[in-house]
Amino acid sequence: MKRWWLAMAVALVGLPLAAAAPARAMTVLQVDLKALVSTADVVLYGKVAGTRVLDRRKQGRGVWTEIELQVAEVWKGDARLAGKRFSWMHVGGTTSDGITVAVPGLPQFSAGEETVVILERTSESHVVSGGPQGKFTVRTSPAGQKTVTRDMADVHYIRRDPATGEMRPAPKQVEILRSLNEFRAEVAGYVAAAAKAAPLPPAKAGPVGK
């Protein structure tokens, strides 16, 4: 599943999107939460510390935004990241000359928001796994209860027909809405199951006795 959506996103970036242009929906392969977590490199909960646009058009590499997260909890990955800042890359952004590059359907991040992100590694950084499917927003009620939701607007899903192998439209995913504690426990279960199912490293050959 690694980076299957990224090439699709880059293909859509092409030209800047004018404010008056009609929105287009992203089409992605539907992936459930268990699969997202099982194949992720890191799953983090924290608060977005800030964003920075990286204009790489002169190098023929488009426009990207670097998102920096103040990590509160590490749900998968190196536990030493807790309390530190962690950055990853995101397609699009608004450049200093006023050009906006955007991919409809990709999640947006803003400074100060609480989020859970499921990330996979690239050759240079990390990206959100599954496009819009790997970003979750954490909101706090007036009573202090934290809930987790996921914005799936402007997204169309496809999935492989097990009988024919063909890709077909899939029903829109049901919105995730649960407490942060419930969501944390569910993700922890998937992480534990993936670790248990992982193959053991091959045993090192010892010296052969005579």
CA gap 78, 111 in Å, rounded: 24
The model's pLDDT over 131-153, given as tens digits with 9 standing for 90+, comes to 889 999 999 999 999 999 998 77
Compute the CA torsion angle 17, 58, 134, 39 (nearest 10 deg). 150
Q: What is the pLDDT of residues 35-44, one digit of tens each?
A: 999 999 999 9
Q: Judge whether residue 76 has pLDDT over 60.
A: yes
Q: Confidence band (pLDDT; 50, 70, 90) for 208? A: low
Q: Give dist(CA 78, CA 98) in Å, integer.
A: 38
Written as six digits, the tokens of 131 are 């496009």
Q: Contact 67/95 with Cβ under 8 angstroms?
A: no
- 3-33 pLDDT, tens digit per residue, is 444 434 433 434 343 333 344 667 888 899 9
Contact criterion met (CB below 8 Å) for 84 and 74: no
DSSP, collapsed to helix, strand or coil, labels residue 179 as strand
- pLDDT value at residue 209: 52
pTM score:
0.81
Q: What is the mean pLDDT of the chain?
A: 83
What percent of the chain lies above the pLDDT cut of 70? 81
**pLDDT for res 107:** 87
Using the predicted structure, report yes or no on whether residue 195 has a pLDDT greater than 60.
yes
Q: Give the bridge partners for 133, in sequence order.
A: none
DSSP reduced 3-state for 181: helix
Map out the domains of the chain as residue ranges.
Answer: 6-14+22-197
Per-residue pLDDT, 17 = 39
Q: Over the stretch 166-191, which tens digit does the pLDDT of each residue have?
A: 998 887 766 678 999 999 999 999 99
Its sign, for the CA torsion 65, 71, 76, 77, is positive
What's the token pair of residue 160? 């492989």
The per-residue pLDDT for 206 is 53
- Report the C-alpha gap between 169 and 67 in whole angstroms: 31
